[in-house]
Structure 1
Amino acid sequence: MAEYIAVLESDTPPQILLGQNIGGAVVTELKQKKQELVSAAYLAGIYSISTDTVRRKLESINQGSDGKCLYNPVLAATILKQGDKNKRGRKRAN
């Protein structure tokens, strides 16, 4: 008997159960890959904001030191996407 590995990437967990028959194979084990931490500069590039803004908004979930700020990308995404709703006032006229 041989083992096969399928890699799935998703925001939500897949609907796969242990013992489920998929394509003639039986699911015997499910694992989640350990989440790697990302830097403030990486997040600033993705969301088009400054690194200072990233550090200020994500201060509560910082997992690095003051000099090297590291964040869980899933938690960071929820906080940074939430910030788009908080804009006030009317749009600037060009």
Structure 2
Amino acid sequence: MGAFKCVITVEGPIPPRFMLGDDIGGGVIITEMKKVDEELVSTSQLALKYNLSVQTVRRKLAQFNQGSNGKGLYSIKIADEILNPKTKQKTGGAKRKN
């Protein structure tokens, strides 16, 4: 009997807690794990991931576009730094006095 291979994509801030040899969902064993790093992602993928409109993503990442005008392609690392609300930097300046 041949082996059935299944690819599971896990997206998150920390790596999953699987070990080689673990059984998952009735499968025989985990035989291989590797990190797949996407080089470039499209505007629509980023809009879905960060719950923003396509126009907003294009406007915020206009300087980092690596595709053509019709097809915006961006590095996932740069896009995450700019669009992720948890990594936004403070605007700076003195606090407002009431």
Q: Which residue of the partner structure matches residue 41 of structure 2?
A: 37
Q: Distance in 2 between matches of 1:78 and 1:27?
A: 32
Q: Distance in 2 between matches of 1:15 and 1:41?
A: 26
Shift of 1:15: 3.1
* Percentage of identical aligned residues: 25
Consecutive unaligned residues of structure 1, counting only runs of 5 or more, are none
Q: Which residue of the partner structure matches residue 16 of structure 1?
A: 18
Q: Which residue of the partner structure matches residue 74 of structure 2?
A: 71
Distance 1:41 1:31, change over 3 A: closer
Shift of 1:34: 6.3
What is the identity, as a one-letter code, of the residue corresponding to 1:88? G
Q: Which residue of the partner structure matches residue 87 of structure 1?
A: 91
Q: CA RMSD in A?
A: 3.8
What is the identity, as a one-letter code, of the residue corresponding to 1:13? P
The count of corresponding residues between Structure 1 and Structure 2 is: 84
SS at match of 1:86: coil
Q: Distance in 2 between matches of 1:64 and 1:52?
A: 14
Q: Distance in 2 between matches of 1:78 and 1:17?
A: 30
Shift of 1:74: 4.6
SS at match of 1:21: coil
Q: Distance in 1 between matches of 2:8 and 2:62?
A: 32
Give the TM-score normalised by the residue count of structure 2.
Answer: 0.50
Residue number among 29, 43, 52 corresponding to 2:59 in the alignment: 52
What is the identity, as a one-letter code, of the residue corresponding to 2:62? R
Deviations 1:9-60 (A, max 9, x none): 2223323343x131562222335556361128954x734683323213xx2x
SS at match of 2:79: helix
